[in-house]
Each structure stands twice: as structure tokens, then as C-alpha cells.
A = this chain, B = another copy of it.
């Protein structure tokens, strides 16, 4: 068994309005950072996983994303897995 570390990003899909990001974009102006635009806010998830090899670790992370971590109707996800 090898220990792997997965880093997952879950973001609202492009075509979906992100009200939290819109609100923070507005706040940037008040901070004098009006050159910052198009903020989108999602989740970053890190986790450890025990698996025989990287391929199995990838499968398990994929299953975790589709069944629990991301709502695939509104969100998309990307992840990386590396041995530690």
C-alpha cells in the first residue's frame, strides 16, 4: 500500500452564475483592486488515500468526486494525485 495525496478543485460551471464570486469582485473595487475581474469561488479539497498504485488511487478519487464531493449538475472538478 502506498500513500497518495490528492488535490481536488471543485468549481461552479462556466454557464452558472456564481453570486459569491460576483460579490467579491465588487468588493475588490473598494480595496483599490478594480483591475481584478471575473472572480469565481469554488472548493479546494485535499485528502490522503491508501492504494496499491496510482491508477487505483485515481479511480477512488474519481468515485469520491462524482458521488460526494461535486454536484455534477452545477459543478465541475479537476484533480491531481501524487505519491507521498
Q: A residues bordering B, Cβ < 8 Å?
A: 9-11, 21, 24-25, 27-28, 31, 33, 35-51, 60-61, 63-64, 67-69
Cβ distance A64 to chain B, nearest Cβ, rounded Å: 6
Copies in the complex: 2
A-B contact pairs, 12 of them (CB 8 A): A21-B45, A24-B69, A31-B64, A33-B63, A36-B60, A36-B61, A36-B64, A38-B46, A39-B47, A42-B43, A42-B45, A43-B43
Choose from B33, B37, B44, B60 the contact partner of A9 (Cβ within 8 Å).
B44
Cβ contact within 8 Å between A35 and B50: yes
**Chain A contact residues: helix, strand, loop or mixed:** strand
